[in-house]
Chain A
Amino acid sequence: MYFNNLEQLMLMGGHGPYVWSAFAVTIAALVWLVLAPIINHRALLKDVARDLQREQARQASTRSQPDISEESI
């Protein structure tokens, strides 16, 4: 390692705040870039599944009781 100990690594000869804040913001932004599509992907799949379930429930209800169709709302 270039630094003698962990404390010097944190301080970086007085430049620590700049270096570490730059790296922290970058890593936060990169993590967000990865997480955003994963969350989005999951939400979309759930959304499609919910639509499907609703559709199936509506089909089932109209098949058995054609009069009560407002209930599904």
Chain B
Amino acid sequence: MRPVVVAGVGMIPFERRDEDSLMDMLATAGLNAMDDAGLGDRPIDSVYVGNMASGLFNHQVSVASALVDRLSLLPAAADRVENGPASGGSAIKNGFLAVASGFNDVVLVVGGEKMREVIGPKATDIVACMTHPQAEYIYGVTLPAMAGMFARLYMEKYGVTREHLSMVAIKNQTNGLLNPYAHIQMKITMEGILSHPQSHINSPVVADPIHLYDCCPVSDGAAAVLLTTEEIANKLKKPLVTIDGIGQATDTHTLQERSDPTDLKAVTLASEQAFKMAGIKPKDIDVAELHDAFTILEIAESEHAGFFPKGEGAKALERGETQIGGKLPINPSGGLKARGHPVGATGVAQVVELVWQLRGEAGERQVKGAANGFSLNFGGFGNNVLAFVLRRKS
């Protein structure tokens, strides 16, 4: 396999974007990545679109074909990649393989989702369609409910408290204030979401013990990366950031069939693969973007990915090690918690953030001197996980 460079990145701010269609968002993010790379009118061989549920949210399918038409990239190959909340990560993996294998030289990967076309409870229902139709969905299970059942066991086993969960929320919403692309631009306090006797009215239970401020918002948004070879990237203007490692693993569809439901095996395996492929270790990572769709997941993933031993993630958080300026800043972008989680966009947005960080273009939230980055895109409830290691080439 030949090295793959992320030559261009692009995003649009995640928020509720009533004025844009899904296609408007995908096209703008795609153009932003092409322009960021300085691609000009060079042809693109393939386009991969990460999107979970445009058919259900927007009554539109075949969005990759529509996108190449919008961007005048015809006759480029075009595929939509659907892998639940890991659709973005899977789309990048496909783009990576196309370039690494020599099949394509220039690939555009765009992830996007327009979720706010429907009201909250309908979005909850559409997202719940990824659960098992007979064994889970019919009971009214939601993704927050899966997180609730997981969190109850994880918190008890490892001594994680609601204060820890709130610390993740506060950290990520604080980081989000430094990210103009983040949906939630609001500083929250421990008093306001947890310690005040009436804080439960601000942060009500969604699926006990998961409260409102433990959940990512429902957002519209899109993000894109342009992948190419070192040879072509050298002719373009941007500092080289390469995808050095990718890992992906799956786990049982239902939570109940995991022998230890607190063990996120797919996170561990995907991360191990990505590190092995990149030839570096978790301790070499300078910045990480984890999939904090729920606050408990940031803590659990930071352990399963190998950054901290089991049960130590919450302690590292307490010590401030995961803040910007700490030993391992996690989610300097604000994560899903503050940036938002337009499901198909997330895996791509994480890689976009890493590229900005590794190039030194992350503005006020820049992790100083970051050279190695890691991202984790968590699909289903941990049943399909992708991990990425990105590195800056000096």
Question: Is A bound to B?
Answer: no
B residues in contact (CB < 8 Å) with A: none
